[in-house]
Amino acid sequence: MNLLIHGGTIVTMRGNEIIRDGAIAIQDETIIDVGKAGQMLGKYASGYEKINAKGKVVIPGLINTHQHAAMSLLRGYADDLPLQEWLEKWIWPIEGLMTAKDIYVGSLLTAVESIMGGTTTVNTMYHYKPMENEAKAFAEAGIRGVVGHVCFSWRRDEDRRALEDLAKNWHNKAGGLIRVSVDPHAPYTVDPGYMKELYALRDEFNKKYGSERAPIIWHIHVAETFNEAEKIKKAFNVDVKGGIMEYLDSLSVLNEHVIAAHCVALTDKDMAIMKARGVKVSHNPISNLKLASGISPIPNMLERDITVSLGTDSPCSNNTADMFEVMKVAALLHKGVSGNPTVMSAQQVLKMATLDGARALCWENDIGSIEVGKKADLAIINFEKPHLCPLHNEFSHLVYAAKSADVETVIINGKIVMENRRLTTLNVEKVMKMVEKAKNRLLEKLQAQC
């Protein structure tokens, strides 16, 4: 399908470029031209389906760099608890009862919610099952994603089998929409030897299934809380004398293909190591605040030119997949904590949710900005709303005033996946009914165990 989006304001994310009364020409999955509508309407008069974007703003699709998509089934299940109690007493027990079908259904719901909120790429870490899984759900929804299998020391053999199946069957598949990652859960659940083994496994899989342009990446929780060193000591009898990044660097497992989620409890040396190794960050401000884990030193990392992206975390620790909420909280949080209203400008935060998100996932050659040669991943936002009037600055409105419900049309890989708030790939009502049934089955299993 060839598309011509015209008449709207295009926020390209190529620096501060904004094209008013602009147009974007899309051929198949690729952007082939970007410019003023007056010139391009004549140039692409025939053979293109027209989308009139007058009164609307077009942005690159938002990129959520840390999710646990299947956990939408547990939204609201266990709230207002500290992280360790939340995981060990509530989340892990019920997750042990989840089937492959549950994982697939939960992921469908997250894909639906993400698309409806203008998110076109999701990086998710969860338990991979060969038949029904997050990758299958994402492919059916038509959303771009990096899908990983979460690894723990206590199930090495199972992890390796799952990772092999995931990499073989899903990396760079579904028309290039799906990539995969190797996901050690955290330094306190993966022992030093296994951490090194998983790093070597990622290299092995890259040689078999990856490429320089489409690498298999590493996705890990790091320094989520200030007692992580104590947890490593308790779990593996390993003394962490410096910071958590310093510890991981001593294992030689850090490089430019690593995306580290949370990064709350970092030392100055940790950040120096991250810069030197090219480690990318996924900042999850809402989840970190809800679980009282702490506040990541994002301004310090940005000053060091470390790539920082944004994530929601799971739908049961956020409790939504809404990246507009994440952008606003990220901007306001760091202004408030620092006492400096100039920290984390709206433009910088939008960049973290688009181009820097693409960089964090090693996908910046294809997505993250609106420019010729990149994939057509776009969100069209209706700005003809009272809360978006009057308009002085598009960046400001997108971060501080726009809502996910303002997203009207979403295009992923050149395909319209939502038009006028209606998904074209999935039946939303059917997905919601499937989720309710899956939730009830889970609770019945849990009650039977009590």
HSE of 2, CA atoms in CB hemisphere, 13 A? 9
Residue (of 164, 179, 80) closest to 130 by Cα position: 164
Could you write out the DSSP letters of every residue in 167-207? HHHHTTBTTTTEEEEEEE--TTTS-HHHHHHHHHHHHHHHH
Backbone torsion region of residue 199, taken as left when φ is above 0, otherwise alpha when ψ lies between -120 and 50, otherwise beta:
alpha
Looking at domain 2-60+368-419, its CATH architecture is Roll (2.30)
What is the per-residue pLDDT for 83?
Answer: 81
What pLDDT does residue 438 have? 95
Domain with CATH 2.30.40.10 in the chain: 2-60+368-419
What is the model's pLDDT at position 352?
Answer: 98
**Helix 156-170 vs helix 192-209: angle between axes, to the nearest 10 degrees?**
20
Q: Is 62-360 CATH 1.20.120.10?
A: no
CB 360 within 8 A of CB 261: no
Nearest-angstrom CA–CA distance, 227 and 249: 19
Distance (Å) of CA 129 to CA 169, 186, 437: 12, 20, 20
SS3 content of the chain, % helix, strand, coil (to 5): 40, 25, 35
How far apart (Å, rounded) are the C-alpha atoms in residues 379 and 53? Answer: 11
Q: pTM score, two decimals? A: 0.97
Name 179's bridge partners. 146
Supply the pLDDT for residue 42: 92
Amino acid (1-letter code) at residue 310: L
| Nearest C-alpha neighbor of 86 from the set 74, 98, 102 | 74
Question: What pLDDT shows up at residue 244?
Answer: 98
Q: To 10 degrees, what angle do helices 156-170 and 134-141 make? A: 20
Phi, psi at 64, each rounded to 5°: -95, 110
pLDDT score of 219: 98
What gap in Å lies between CA 240 and CA 244, rounded to an integer?
Answer: 7
Tokens representing 58?
Answer: 């077009």
Is it true that the peptide bond before 413 is cis, omega within 30 degrees of 0?
no
**What pLDDT is stored for residue 238 in this prediction?**
96
> Do 199 and 252 contact (CB within 8 A), yes or no?
yes
Q: Please report how the helices 134-141 and 100-116 are oriented relative to each other, as an axis angle in degrees rounded to 10.
A: 40
pLDDT reported for residue 54: 98
Structure tokens at 136: 């299958």
Domain with CATH 3.20.20.140 in the chain: 62-360
Q: For 149, which DSSP code?
A: E
Angle between helices 100-116 and 428-449 (to 10 degrees): 140
Distance CA 37, CA 251 (A): 54
Token duo for residue 373: 């040669």
pLDDT of residue 65: 98
Residue 364: predicted pLDDT: 98
Residue whose token pair is 């006492």: 339
Q: Give the sheet arrangement for strand 308-310, strand by strand.
A: 62-67, 119-126, 144-151, 178-184, 217-222, 258-262, 280-283, 308-310
> Whole-angstrom distance between the N-terminal and C-terminal Cα of the chain?
54
Neighbours of 449 (CB within 10 A): 9
DSSP symbol at 128:
-
Query: Which sign, positive or negative, has the C-alpha torsion 66, 72, 76, 77?
Result: negative
**Residue 240 to residues 234, 236, 247, 254: CA-CA distances in angstroms?**
11, 11, 6, 16
- Per-residue pLDDT of the chain (450 residues), as tens digits, is 899 999 999 999 999 999 999 999 999 999 999 999 999 999 999 999 999 999 999 999 999 999 999 999 999 998 888 888 888 888 888 988 999 999 999 999 999 999 999 999 999 999 999 999 999 999 999 999 999 999 999 999 999 999 999 999 999 999 999 999 999 999 999 999 999 999 999 999 999 999 999 999 999 999 999 999 999 999 999 999 999 999 999 999 999 999 999 999 999 999 999 999 999 999 999 999 999 999 999 999 999 999 999 999 999 999 999 999 999 999 999 999 999 999 999 999 999 999 999 999 999 999 999 999 999 999 999 999 999 999 999 999 999 999 999 999 999 999 999 999 999 999 999 999 999 999 999 999 888 886
- Whether the CB-CB separation of 73 and 102 falls below 8 Å is answered with yes
Give the DSSP per-residue string, 406-422.
Answer: GEEEEEETTEEEEETTE
The Cα–Cα gap between 107 and 135 comes to 8
